[in-house]
Chain A
Amino acid sequence: MSALKIKKGSTKHSAYNLRPDFSDVTETHTLAVVVDNEAGVLARVIGLFSGRGYNIDSLTVAETDHEGHRSRITIVTTGTPQVIEQIKAQLGRIVPVHEVHDLTVEGPSVERELALLKVSGTGEKRVEALRLADIFRANVMDSTLESFIFEITGTPDKIDAFAQLMGPLGLIEVARTGVAALSRGQ
Chain B
Amino acid sequence: MVVQALRDQGVDVVFGYPGGAVLPIYDEIFQQNDIRHVLVRHEQGAVHAAEGYARSTGKPGVVLVTSGPGATNAVTGITDALMDSIPLVVLSGQVPTFMIGNDAFQEADTVGITRACTKHNWLVKDTANLSGTIHEAFHVATTGRPGPVLVDIPKDVQFASSTYTPPQKAKTSHYQPPVKGDLDAITELVEAIEKAKKPIIYTGGGVINSGTAASQLLRELVDSTDFPVTSTLMGLGAYPGTGKNWLGMLGMHGLYEANMAMHDCDLMINIGARFDDRITGLVSAFSPNSKKAHIDIDPSSVNKVIRVDIPIIGDVGHVLEDILKIWKSRGRKTDKEGLKGWWARIEEWKKIDCLSFKQTGPVIKPQYALHRLEELTRNHDRYICTEVGQHQMWAAQYLTFNDPNRWMTSGGLGTMGYGLPASVGVQMAHPEALVINVAGEASWLMNMQEMGTAVQFRLPVKQFIMNNERLGMVRQWQELLHGERYSQSWSEALPDFVKLAEAFGCKGIKVDNPDDLDEAIREMLAYDGPVILDCLVEKHENCFPMIPSGEAHNKMLLGEAKTKDAIGSSGAVLV
Contacts and interface: CB of A to CB of B under 8 A. Distances in A.
Interface of A: 8-14, 16-17, 21-22, 36, 39-40, 43-44, 47, 51, 82, 85-86, 89-90, 92-96, 98
Contacts of A92: 299-300
Nearest to A6: B299
Contact of A93 (B121, B178, B182, B300): B300
B302 A14 contact: yes
29 contacts: A8-B177, A8-B299, A9-B297, A10-B178, A10-B299, A11-B182, A11-B185, A11-B313, A11-B314, A12-B182, A13-B299, A13-B313, A14-B311, A16-B303, A17-B311, A21-B307, A36-B174, A40-B123, A44-B115, A82-B303, A82-B307, A86-B300, A89-B298, A92-B299, A93-B298, A93-B300, A94-B120, A96-B120, A98-B174
B182 A9 contact: no
A95 B123 contact: no
Contact of A89 (B178, B299, B312): B299
Contact of A9 (B115, B174, B177, B307): B177
A51 B302 contact: no
Interface in B166-208: 174-175, 177-178, 181-182, 185
Interface in B261-308: 297-300, 302-304, 307
Nearest to B304: A86
B299 A51 contact: no
A95 B175 contact: yes
A122 B384 CA distance: 81
Interface residues of B, number: 30
B352 interface: no
B111 interface: yes
Interface in B122-136: 123
Contact of B303 (A12, A51, A85, A95): A85
B390 to A, nearest CB: 31
A82 B275 CA distance: 15
A24 B129 CA distance: 47
Given A9-B299, A11-B311, 5 more contacts: A8-B299, A9-B297, A10-B178, A40-B121, A95-B120
B144 A9 contact: yes
A69 to B, nearest CB: 11
Nearest to A12: B182
Nearest to B300: A89
Contacts of B302: 14, 89
Contacts of A85: 303
Interface in B476-525: none
Nearest to A92: B299
B363 interface: no
Contacts of B182: 11-12
Contacts of A12: 182
B112 interface: yes
B116 interface: yes
Given A13-B299, A47-B116, A82-B303, A95 B140 contact: yes
Contacts of B155: none
Which among B120, B123, B175, B300 has the greatest number of chain A C-beta atoms within 10 A? Answer: B300
A19 B123 CA distance: 42
